[in-house]
Amino acid sequence: MSNYKHILLAADFSRHGLAVAERAKDLANLYQAKLSITHIVDNLVTMDMAYEPSIAYDFDLSAELMASAKNHLSKLADQFNIPENQRWLEIGNPKMEIVRIAEENQADLIVIGSHGRHGLALLLGSTANGVLHHAKCDVLAVRLQNDD
């Protein structure tokens, strides 16, 4: 067993997501590890929007989503002193993109928020579950509070 060297924070910008970021930062400090951050804009969400009647409107909305996500990512990354070249914003299937980014950048620990069991997550499993299922490295699922 070696110390963690590169921790990847899978950020979701939810109300309780800050605790996940704090845990990732804390572990990076304890292990003197590099801390990176990623956020994936779910393409199911953007595809959903594409089914709406006005394509032009939806295109703007998708771009707006990305711009908003970029803004959130920058703020969070700045707050935790994560350098520009260790920030990844993507559109896609969140679990697969998180796993891909972790592999491509040799992260040895993914830190991700984990929601309570309700709604769709109860049936389909959460992103955290999907990441755990597919990741080749360790995964820390931080239970989000006030969420059950």
Q: Give contact residues for a second copy (rule: CB under 8 A).
A: 1, 19, 22-23, 26, 30, 114, 117, 125-126, 128-129, 132-143, 148
CB of 105 to a second copy, least distance (A): 16
Closer CB to a second copy, residue 16 or residue 70? 16
Instruction: Say how many C-beta atoms besides its own lie within 10 A of residue 16's C-beta.
Output: 15
Contact 21, 11 (CB under 8 A): yes
- CA–CA gap between residue 36 and residue 58 (Å, rounded): 31
Closer CB to a second copy, residue 84 or residue 148? 148
End-to-end CA distance of the chain, in Å?
34
Contact 20, 11 (CB under 8 A): yes
CB of 20 to a second copy, least distance (A): 9
Closer CB to a second copy, residue 60 or residue 117? 117
